[in-house]
Amino acid sequence: MSIIDKIFELTETLLSDTKFSLYDVERNGGILKVTIEATGGVTLDELAKINRQISKALDENDPMPNKYTLEVSSPGLERKLRTRDHYEGAKGEVVGVKLGPHVDGERRLKGLLDLVTEESIFLIDESGKRLEIPLCDISKATTIFQWQRNQKPGKSDSNENTNITRVGS
């Protein structure tokens, strides 16, 4: 079992009887980033408390052989999508996708995440075209938060359509 798998298992066990769930675990050099989520969000006080609990559990179980810095955070409004479960959880949202350097043509795509299969995701781009993107071609993907424009009092919203409309099946 890898270090990340051990930390994932340890953290999931720690959070099992709480309102929180583990979103992701990343290790980049001396930084260990644990991302948690909860329906309705996570407060700073809750993050601090969970950080202390995870830190204590890591100290007791010692799955990391070297020194590291623990960062505990929420996924935020624009979440990284790294696993198939992340993509499944983002269906119906607008996502930005960066393709690897081995892919010819346009490498930055944006659209409504319509479908997730074992090997691909399907986006509906702004023109309504459905794009199939193999998961193995994606180097980076994130959700894109859609800010709503504040409507001026007395103005109709009928001429403004900033949302992508779902097309096809």
What sign has the CA pseudo-torsion 91, 34, 66, 56?
negative
Q: Which fold has domain 3-73?
A: GMP Synthetase; Chain A, domain 3 (3.30.300)
- Cβ neighbors of 150 (< 8 A, separation 6 or more) are none
CA distance 164 to 127: 9
- Break the chain into its structural domains and give their ranges: 3-73, 84-143
Question: What was the pLDDT predicted at 110?
Answer: 95
Q: pLDDT (tens digit, 9 = 90+) per residue, 135-159?
A: 999 999 999 988 877 766 665 554 4
Query: What CATH number was assigned to the domain covering residues 84-143?
Result: 2.30.30.100
Number of helices (H) and strands (E) in the chain: give both, helices first: 3, 8
Q: pLDDT (tens digit, 9 = 90+) per residue, 69-105?
A: 999 999 988 999 999 999 999 999 999 999 999 988 8
Q: If we measure between CA atoms, which residue out of 116, 120, 78 comes closest to residue 99?
A: 120
Whether the model clears a pTM of 0.75, i.e. scores above it, the answer is: no
Q: pLDDT (tens digit, 9 = 90+) per residue, 19-73?
A: 999 999 999 888 999 999 998 889 999 999 999 999 999 989 888 778 889 999 9
